[in-house]
Amino acid sequence: MNEWNIQSRASACESCTTPFADKQSLHTLLFDEAPELRRMDICDNCWQNQFSQGARDRKGFLSHWQTIYEAPTPQVDAIHKDTAETLLRKLIEQNDPRYAPAGYILAVMLERKRILKVKEQIVRDGKRVFIYEQPKTGDIFTIADPNLRLDQLEQVQRDVAQLLEHGLNPPEQNETPQQISEQPVSPIEQT
């Protein structure tokens, strides 16, 4: 699977297509459709009628939670300065695996600030994967744990500080192409 992705909350029930109203309760389900996790948002009625009875594994979903729909507010894009959250969104959009460790650290920062909430922790393809929700927008962030070693952590934290200060794509673009190191990040060494 991808190291990470964002899946936005639907604005209508995926099953009966009724649009969600502001403050309405809805149900978010995650399905394991390898190689991706697929999100489905449905209304209370459809949850009751189609999913609430019977064994979870028979219904085929991996995770479920109930949440409150918040109608989008128009001023969401008004902020230009990169915050930890906008930076994380840009990193995921750019989908450059070199930034996967920085993305992971940003997600941890945002969780500590209670901007993101961990909804689920799963293991896929031998990797720990965190499912975060941004409760205001309802976006789900899927972030794989890059298994940073302690000696890598400091460098990644410096990268994150640098990115937060200068943004993802600083103006000067004429740098000589760097050698991209493709070594896989090994799991934390037990001592």
Where on the chain is the footprint of Zn ion (CB under 5 A)?
13, 15-16, 43, 46
Rank residues 41 and 145 by Cβ distance to Zn ion and give the closer one: 41
Q: What is the rounded radius of gyration, in angstroms, for the C-alpha atoms of the chain?
A: 19
Termini Cα distance of the chain = 30
Asked whether the bond before 35 is cis by omega within 30 degrees of 0, the reply is: yes
15 vs 157, which CB is nearer to Zn ion?
A: 15
* Minimum distance of Zn ion from residue 47's CB (angstroms): 8
Q: How far is the CB of 39 from Zn ion (least distance, A)?
A: 15
Shortest spacing between CB 44 and Zn ion, in angstroms: 8
How far is the C-alpha of 162 from the C-alpha of 132, rounded, in Å?
Answer: 24
Which CB atom, from 13 or from 116, has the smaller least distance to Zn ion?
A: 13
Q: Which is nearer to Zn ion, 16 or 21 (CB)?
A: 16
Q: How far apart are CA 110 and CA 161, in angstroms?
A: 14
Least Cβ distance, residue 81 to Zn ion (angstroms): 39
Identify which of residues 31 and 168 has a Cβ nearer to Zn ion in the complex.
31
Q: Could you tell me the CA-to-CA distances from 161 to 105, 151, 166, 178 in Å, in that order?
A: 10, 17, 9, 20
Torsion sign across C-alpha atoms 48, 49, 53, 58? negative
Helices assigned H by DSSP within the chain: 44-46, 56-59, 84-94, 100-112, 150-166
Minimal distance in Å, beta carbon 53 to Zn ion?
Answer: 16
